[in-house]
């Protein structure tokens, strides 16, 4: 099998395979970047920050509503 394949043909096949691998890795990189953008949007919406929960976002809104409901129950 290898007797009939020249070094030039083998090199061309290897280059073609490397290009395909680069395309796959590029697609995976784009996919991961998209996931990172989605995670960032979700974190922003939730109000999550590296130091904890911010004063804005869905979690902060829920905490405020929970405090208001607790006040109503106390009355």
The residue extents of the domains of the chain are 2-74
In what helix (H) or strand (E) does residue 47 lie, and over which residues does it extend?
none
pLDDT by residue (tens digit) across 5-55? 888 999 999 999 999 999 999 999 999 999 999 998 888 888 877 777 777
**DSSP label at 57?**
S
Residue 2: which pLDDT band, with cuts at 50, 70 and 90?
low
pLDDT at 50: 73
Q: How far is it, in rounded angstroms, from Cα 14 to Cα 8?
A: 10
To the nearest 10 degrees (0 to 180), the angle between helices 58-74 and 7-46 is: 30
């Amino acid at each position: 099998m290898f007797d009939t394949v020249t070094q030039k043909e083998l090199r061309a096949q290897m280059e073609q395979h490397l290009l395909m691998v680069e395309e796959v890795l590029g697609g995976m990189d784009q996919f991961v970047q998209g996931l990172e953008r989605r995670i960032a949007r979700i974190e922003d919406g939730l109000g999550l920050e590296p130091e904890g929960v911010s004063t804005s976002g869905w979690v902060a809104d829920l905490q405020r509503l929970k405090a208001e409901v607790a006040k109503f129950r106390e009355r």
